[in-house]
Amino acid sequence: MNIFRFAGDMTHLFSILVLLLKIHTIKSCAGISLKTQEMYAIVFVTRYLDLFTDYVSFYNSIMKIIFLGSSFSIIWYMRHHKIVRRSYDKDQDTFRHYFLMLPCLLLALLFNERFTFKEVMWSFSLFLEAVAILPQLVLLQRTRNIDNLTGQYVFLLGAYRAFYLLNWIYRYFTEPHYIHWIPWISGLIQTLLYADFFYYYFHSWKNNKKLELPA
């Protein structure tokens, strides 16, 4: 494992910890899209079908369990916790995320490394992850005023994918025959979706102002 892959994993983990910190300490999920969280849960379930069949390493297994457990924990809090669920803005979080899933599944059936159930689901998870942030970004644009923890959560998610792009570039130049177009293209699309948010995030940080996105 190279430094870029490790940095990506840790940044991804920190993003989840920031979100859980917001939910546990403030007892609020204001500004968080349940639609995005549900899609991330589907991403992890379909990507980690090999959790109990193919052992890679202790680190790999622990990270998979953490991502799966934290995703369902966040969804449970947003849907069922008697205090947290009151702060969920259902009227603003209206992105029809189910319409993203069918195109991602069709792409996975057409573009995969091997036409097996696991490989198709792995490709599906990559395509779905690329667009899973869309409901969150739309919600932030609608609410405009974004609290610090929510802004940090989204920023860390974008940074995680940026580190993975560096990881792939590094491996391309250091490992022979390392070519994987599906994660590369989906990862690039996912990173580009964060570009507008990154711009306003750094602008607010530079000017020491509260993060606001244009309507």
Residue 111 per-residue DSSP state: S
- Quickly list H helices, 48-147: 58-80, 98-110, 117-131, 134-143
Mean of the per-residue pLDDT values of the chain: 91
Per residue in 157-198, pLDDT (tens digit) is: 999 999 999 999 999 999 998 999 999 999 999 988 888 777
Q: Is the pLDDT of residue 210 over 90?
A: no
CB atoms within 10 A of CB 191: 19
Of residues 126, 102, 124, the one with CA closest to residue 115: 124
Assign 212 to helix, strand or coil.
strand
Q: What is the pTM of this model?
A: 0.91
Bigger pLDDT: 204 vs 135:
135
| pLDDT-based confidence at residue 207 (cuts at 50, 70, 90) | low
pLDDT of residue 151: 87
